[in-house]
Every structure is written in structure tokens, then in C-alpha cells.
Amino acid sequence: MAVTGDSELEWAIQTLVKNYDRYSGKGCCCRRRRGISKSDFRKMLSHELNHMLTDTKNRQAADKLICDLDENQDGEINFDEYWNLIGGIASPISCLIRQQEESEKFKK
Amino acid sequence: MAVTGDSELEWAIQTLVKNYDRYSGKGCCCRRRRGISKSDFRKMLSHELNHMLTDTKNRQAADKLICDLDENQDGEINFDEYWNLIGGIASPISCLIRQQEESEKFKK
């Protein structure tokens, strides 16, 4: 998967970073780049996390995620807030993988 | 890159989760799975983040990272601590990408 000699983990990290960049500060001429706006965040959820987030289409769920995440209440998701969101999605997946492995181990 | 119909972002998240799983709780028979031990963490840094972390080989840098991260001081890196580490590496990269884009914009 990784093309440039980077490891898969490095490639995955760059993918997450580039995704943030793609959805934040688009078409903005002023020097200070914006975070991800609410509407762009909703687009990201439905375009990019469609399988992982079941009720992506649900506007309230997206808004709740944004409100929970927008710690500094500036109406935008900065990189650290974005990273916490992804971590909030990845953590239960990590537990799921473990439970599956545990159940397979005890079947043998 | 994503194979199973998942988006690239979903594929990248799964890569980060599987990487955690690969380095944690290896060969352990008891039910409670361990986090990433210090030695496995060091292996992960040098095998998986060799390009992103310049002084990966530096034992003190790895130990400092582990100490800073091991918030609950149990000598192991759990998933949330692991995720914070990756975020700590990704965040400066995100700023770097922006600076490069800004400088290119002002060259035109």
C-alpha cells in the first residue's frame, strides 16, 4: 500500500492528515487557515466515514459530534479536535478486533 | 488503496488500529489483554515510524515518549495513549503541509 518507502503506518497517518487538509480552509484567501466548518464536517462524515459511522446521514448525530468536539467553541474543528474524533471512532473498533480474536481463541 | 469499498480514510483508521493490535498483548494467554510494552513500543517506533521520527533509534527519545504518554503509569501504552502519540506526530505534519501550501500560494 505505502508507495514512497514509508511504512503502512506512516502512509495511514499521512492519509489522515491530508484528509483534514482537504476538508479544512478550502478556498480561503486570508492567511489564517480555518479548521473544518460544520457543513464541511458533515460532508466528511458522509463521504469518508460512511461505513464506520452507521447513522452518518443523521444530522443530529453529526451536530452532536461537532458540539462534543468543538472544545474551544469557535464553530470549527481544529486538527486536535479532528484527531480526537477519529480516535473516538477507532477505539471501539480496536476493542471489537480484540473481542473477535478472543472468541476465536476460545473456540479452538 | 482501500480494497473493501471502504474509503481511504476508513482504511487508514483500520491500519492504525491493526498496528496497535500487532504490537500489543502478543502471545499472552490470560484473558486481560496487555497494552504495548516499552520494548514493543520501541520496536514499533523503529520499524513503523522510521521516516517520521528522525531519532527513532534514540532510546531516551523513545523512553521520554513512553513516559510522557503512559498517563496511568502502568508501564504499558493503552489504545488512547497510543492514539495521542500518533496525534502528536500527525499534528506538526499537518502544520508543515499548510506552510508548504501557503508558501506556494504566495509564490504565484
**Per-residue pLDDT at B13:** 92
Rounded Cα–Cα distance for residues A28 and A32 (Å): 9
Tell if the CB–CB gap between A52 and B89 is shorter than 8 Å.
no
Query: pLDDT by residue (tens digit) across B66-79?
Result: 677 666 667 788 88
Residue A36 has pLDDT above 70, yes or no: yes
Cβ pair B51:A6 closer than 8 A: yes
CA atoms within 13 Å, Cβ hemisphere of B60: 0
Residues contacting B1, CB < 8 A, separation 6+: A1, A15, B8, B11
Q: Which residues contact B96 (CB under 8 A, 6 or more apart)?
A: none
pLDDT of residue B19: 93
Nearest to B9 among A33, A49, A79 (CB): A49
pLDDT (tens digit per residue) in B38-58: 788 888 888 998 887 765 555
Cα angle: A50, vertex A16, A60; to 5 degrees: 40
**CB-CB under 8 Å, A33 with B90:** no
The residue ranking higher by pLDDT, A27 or B87, is: B87
All residues of chain A having their beta carbon less than 8 Å from the beta carbon of residue B98 are: 21, 25, 33
Domains of chain B, with CATH numbers? 34-106 (1.10.238.10)
Set of chain A residues whose Cβ sits within 8 Å of the Cβ of B28: none
Closest CA of chain B from A5, distance in Å: 9
pLDDT band at B6 (very low <50, low <70, confident <90, very high): confident
pLDDT score recorded for residue A61: 64
**Closest residue in chain A to residue B12, using alpha carbons only:** A12
pTM of the model: 0.77
Task: Report how far residue A19's alpha carbon sits from residue A7's, in angstroms, rounded to the nearest whole number.
Answer: 18
Is residue A62 within 8 Å of A45, Cβ to Cβ? yes
Burial of B22 (0-12, 13-18, 19+ CB in 10 A): middle
DSSP element (H, E) containing B83: helix B79-107
Q: Is the ipTM of this complex over 0.85?
A: no
Most confident of A18-22, A101-105, B5-9, B103-107: A18-22
- pLDDT over 50 (residue A2): no
Bridge partners, residue A36, by sequence: A77
Q: What nine digits make up the cell of A93?
A: 473498533
| Tens digit of each residue's pLDDT (9 = 90 or more) over A57-84 | 556 666 677 677 666 667 788 888 889 8
pLDDT band at A16 (very low <50, low <70, confident <90, very high): very high
Q: What is the spatial distance between Cα B83 and Cα B97, in angstroms, rounded to a whole number?
A: 21
| Mean pLDDT computed over A19-34 | 68
Average pLDDT, whole number, for chain B? Answer: 76
CA B3/CA A42 separation, integer angstroms: 24
B81 compared with A106, residue with greater pLDDT: B81
Any residues with CB less than 8 A from the CB of B29 and at least 6 apart, and which?
Answer: none
Contact call for A91 and B83, based on CB within 8 A: yes
Instruction: Judge: A52–B13 Cβ closer than 8 Å, yes or no.
Output: yes
What's the gap in Å between the CA of A48 and the closest CA on chain B?
6
Q: Would the pLDDT of B5 be above 70? A: yes
Which residues, 6 or more positions from A33, have their beta carbon under 8 angstroms from its beta carbon?
Answer: A24, A25, B98, B102
